[in-house]
Amino acid sequence: MTAPVTIRIQQADFDVAREIAALTNGRTDIGAVVSFSGICRGSEGGDEIAALTLEHYPEMAEAEIKRHADEAMSRWPLDGLTVIHRFGRIRPGENIVLVVTASKHRQAAFQAAEFLMDYLKTSAPFWKREESARGAGWVEAREGDDAAASRWTKS
């Protein structure tokens, strides 16, 4: 059986439990599922956040996420993978991103999920604009995110 890979970039919200069920229902080959859901925070550095607006270039974003999903599938023995990333205006408490990895064993599922999230945080072609009482501004990359992603570079 070929492991299912689902990649969606969408404006609408998603249901984490429903996405996990879609990947695992009827499957007896899966022994571990790891999910990460990123949620819009209500504050950053003491400033309240009214919303985030995520922009992307659709064809580029889809191709890049697929490329990294394919790499995860080749690096770890995965039995399924789902990546959902939202775009548009997102308010505090709303979902932004979901990564679900399934494998026979937990280590592969954990590592693949971390790999994909590190990639999505640093290199996926999405741009975030944060709205607060101080106004709106683009969110800059964080040095810590780049350091986390560098551990996956093959030497």
Give the CATH number for residue 55: 3.90.1170.40
Report which of residues 91 and 2 the model is more confident about.
91
How high is the pLDDT of residue 46? 79
Please state, in angstroms and rounded to a whole number, the distance separating the CA atoms of residues 35 and 114. 10
Instruction: Report the mean per-residue pLDDT for the chain.
Output: 90
Mean pLDDT on 26-40: 96
How many structural domains does the chain have?
1
Give the tokens for residue 35: 């999910």
Q: Give domain status of residue 97, yes or no.
A: yes
With 90 as the cut, is the pLDDT of residue 124 above it?
Answer: no
Q: Give domain status of residue 151, yes or no.
A: no
Please state, in angstroms and rounded to a whole number, the distance separating the CA atoms of residues 94 and 123. 22
Q: Give domain status of residue 152, yes or no.
A: no
Q: Give domain status of residue 154, yes or no.
A: no
With 90 as the cut, is the pLDDT of residue 132 above it?
Answer: no
Q: Give domain status of residue 11, yes or no.
A: yes
Q: Give domain status of residue 146, yes or no.
A: no
